[in-house]
Amino acid sequence: MNTIEQFFATKNIRVTAMRLLIYRFLADKQVAVTLSDIEKAFEKADRTTLYRTIKTFEEKCIVHQIDDGTGVTKYALCEGDCNCEINNDLHLHFHCNLCNETVCLTDHKIPQVKVPKGFVAEDVNLVVKGVCNKCSS
C-alpha cells in the first residue's frame, strides 16, 4: 500500500493532495492529456498549481511531454523504469485525426535515425498521425 507515496519519495518530491490527485488522474487516462484537460478535471484548483505540478513531474521524470502537432503540449506518465534517456526510453506517439487523442506506443521504439555529418542527435520525437484502433473499427 501507499505505493504512490513511496514512488514520490524515490523521486524526492513532497507528497501533497494535489500531486496525488493529478498523478492518479494521469494513471487512469490511457491517453496523453493537455493542461486544459487537467484544468477541466480539477476546476477548484488553480491553473498555476496544475501547471507547476506538471512541470515538477516533468523535471523529476514522472511524466513526459508530447508534441503531437496539434499546437498544444500534452503529457503522459513515463514508464516505471524510465530514465528519459535517448536510445532507451524513446517511444513513438500516435495521434488520431478523428478522436484527436494521442497515445504512447511504448512497445514501439524509435528506429535508428541517421543525420548528416556535423549534426549531433540528442533527442528524437516521432509522431504518427492517422486513425487509431478505436476509430478505425
Q: Would you give the end-to-end CA distance of the chain in angstroms?
A: 39
Size of the residue set binding a second copy (CB under 8 A): 36
Nearer to a second copy, 60 or 91 (CB): 91
Q: Is 65 helix (H, G, I), strand (E, B) or coil?
A: strand
Does 80 engage in binding with a second copy (CB under 8 A)?
Answer: no
Residue reference for cell 503540449: 73
Does 128 sit near a second copy (CB under 8 A)?
A: yes
51 binds, among DNA, a second copy, none (CB under 5 to 8 A by kind): DNA
How many CA within 13 A on the CB side of residue 112?
1
For DNA, the closer of residues 18 and 90 by Cβ is 18
Give the C-alpha separation, 2 to 98, whole Å.
Answer: 38
Task: Provide, rounded to whole angstroms, the least separation between the CB of residue 67 and a second copy.
Answer: 5
Q: Which residues have CB under 8 Å from 60's CB, separation 6+? A: 11, 12, 13
Which of residues 13 and 77 has its CB atom nearest to DNA in the complex? 13
* 16: number of Cβ within 10 Å: 12
Residue 13 contact partner, candidates a second copy, DNA, none, CB within 5 to 8 A by sort of partner: DNA
Going by C-alpha positions, the residue among 84, 67, 83 that lies closest to residue 75 is 67
Min CB(60)–a second copy separation in Å: 20
Residues that bind a second copy (CB under 8 A): 67, 69, 71, 73, 92, 94, 97, 105, 107-108, 111-134, 136-137
